[in-house]
A and B are shown apart, each in its own frame.
Chain A
Amino acid sequence: MTPPAARPLAIDATALTRRFGSFTAVDAITFHVRPGEVFGFLGANGAGKTTAMRMLIGLLTPTEGEATVAGWSVATESEQIRRNIGYMSQKFSLYDDLTVGENVELYGGIYGLTDAEIRDRRSALLARLGLATHERSFVKSLPLGWKQQLAFSVALLHRPKIVFLDEPTGGVDPITRRKFWEMIYETAAGGTAVLVTTHYLDEAEYCDRLSIMVDGRIAAMGTPDDVKRAAGVASLDELFLRLTRPGAVEPAA
């Protein structure tokens, strides 16, 4: 097996930039994500996170700069990227009016798996999640936590090298949130890189490394401990406040 250092980076972005007319949404960001790493991609609303993500998953072409995802170029090979990554967001994951089983089959087909592969992975997935008895239930009727876990598993159906999770735990109860993160760790342990965005700063602590975007640029990057130490703060809350609202008066501890 190739040693970790020699394996290609899951994400390798250099001076990635995106402009809309005169407005620069993403301003020359440079970062990388290694295979099997859990990378937290943070930032305030409007900081450019969403635009950056859309470039990385092949939905938007960069104005300048370059990035490769799982080895493919975002500028020229977006088709391959889209077929070889996993993606899960709150707004779009599963089809509410299809059953659990139908969703798995649908995505299996979309990802280009053979019938045999779909069959095997489907039973494995349902068993792992404990949803075997709910195979014929409509996704609409599942509680949110079940839906999110199912969506995550479906995003991994084709065993991608990297999976993008866009606020996967919003609104979910605290125990399910943590179980979800256990799934993330399992996935990462299997060699899949995970790029996750979240508004829960305690979840940011669960990441191997993270970056915080402010006004289109990366204002801080590193392990959670590194970034806290570099800014001389005790918590990510404070760091976040300091970066997104420079000059704000911090409340007395």
Chain B
Amino acid sequence: MNHQADGGASNPASGPASGGAAALAAPPDTVRAANLTKRFGDVVALDRVSFDVRAGELFGFIGPDGAGKTTLFRLLVSLFTPDEGESRVLGLDPVKDLWELRRRVGYMPGRFSLYPDLSVHENLAFYASVFGTTVEREMATIAPIYHQLAPFAGRRAAALSGGMKQKLALCCALVHAPEILFLDEPTTGVDAVSRKEFWDLLARLRAGGLTIVVSTPYMDEASRCDRVALMQHGRILRIDRPAAVTAAYPRPLLAVTGADRLGMLAALRAHPHAASVWPFGASLHFTDDRAGADPASLAGELAAWLRERRLPAEVRPIEATIEDAFMYDMVDADQPA
């Protein structure tokens, strides 16, 4: 099921998109997709995916490996053709208008795709020249990122750290001043601080008016997007602003913090009203199945319940995170047992 909700502007009805070209005729600075389907042999990588991205938006596809994010991106930048469905990027059809499209989009693939034996500057200069421009001419666009790369301008790409490589790749995607950016898992394999810096860069770019479409398996990065689409197994679970996604969490959510975490986990899972209990860093997230109940009183109740079992703990109601929401929406985990 495809949930689409939004702050008020019109959007296509959920379910199969109505009509083909008519639904896709769009102002040129957006992305529109209707029923995109892609199969590889028996595997359905994308299953009737529909969504839209508005101009100037920072749009995130959040989901684990195998969700279909990379396949989707490759479809949108004209590297694959869909088996069914259609899409428009900047008003262009990636199937028919591929050369026009390729001039105007910036793309950062999921794995590091720059030349390891060329230096930072040489990689940049190459991609600039391929698009008929030079690094100097586009400096205004890439300045905030280039500023961080400049000290390493002469270093070979292979010798850069993971975080620097990602920044370089971003720079190369940006160096021809594209109208929209597609970044496929740009922060994978990179440490938490570098990830944060990367998203700071994206925020700056977005502030300059660039439309950015990102995919990531890290749920915490979702909060930095304007809107997110939660994806799993080739399908979109939900599309909305991050705040709306978390606000839509249907049940009371409590955070339980205490000394004997494993003990608490086992005990809480046996609680009569436990819809789910999962570790979340230093605390446990307890979802109560009594939808609509007052979280504050539930918290007190639970604390007492735990105290009875000699598991003193601090219990407080919390706002759901994207990860909580995703785990609630997930169809099934990728695990056999």
Contacts and interface: CB of A to CB of B under 8 A. Distances in A.
Given A176-B333, A237-B192, A240-B193, A171 B65 contact: yes
Given A174-B219, A244-B191, A179 B282 contact: no
B281 A146 contact: no
Contacts of A145: 64, 333-335
Interface residues of B, number: 35
Interface string A34-50: 00000000011110000
Interface string A123-147: 0000011110010000000011110
A228 to B, nearest CB: 9
A44 B195 CA distance: 11
A149 interface: yes
B151 interface: no
A46 B161 contact: yes
Interface string B233-277: 000000000000000000000000000001000000000000000
A178 B278 contact: yes
Nearest to A127: B337
Nearest to A234: B282
A102 to B, nearest CB: 18
Per DSSP, are chain A's interface residues mostly helix, strand or loop, or mixed? helix
A173 B64 contact: yes
B162 interface: yes
A234 B61 CA distance: 29
Interface in B193-240: 193-196, 217-219, 232
A185 interface: yes
A206 interface: yes
Interface of B: 63-66, 161-163, 188-196, 217-219, 232, 262, 278-282, 323, 326-327, 330, 333-337
Q: Which 9 A-B pairs have the closest CB atoms?
A: A145-B334, A202-B281, A173-B64, A171-B65, A175-B333, A45-B162, A130-B337, A46-B161, A130-B336
28 contacts: A43-B191, A45-B190, A143-B66, A143-B334, A144-B66, A144-B334, A146-B336, A171-B188, A172-B65, A172-B217, A172-B334, A173-B64, A174-B278, A174-B326, A175-B330, A175-B333, A175-B335, A176-B333, A176-B335, A178-B279, A199-B190, A199-B192, A202-B281, A224-B282, A235-B281, A240-B191, A241-B193, A244-B191
Given A174-B327, A175-B278, 20 more contacts: A44-B161, A46-B162, A128-B337, A129-B337, A144-B334, A146-B336, A149-B336, A149-B337, A171-B217, A172-B334, A173-B64, A173-B333, A174-B64, A174-B323, A175-B333, A176-B64, A199-B192, A236-B281, A241-B196, A244-B193
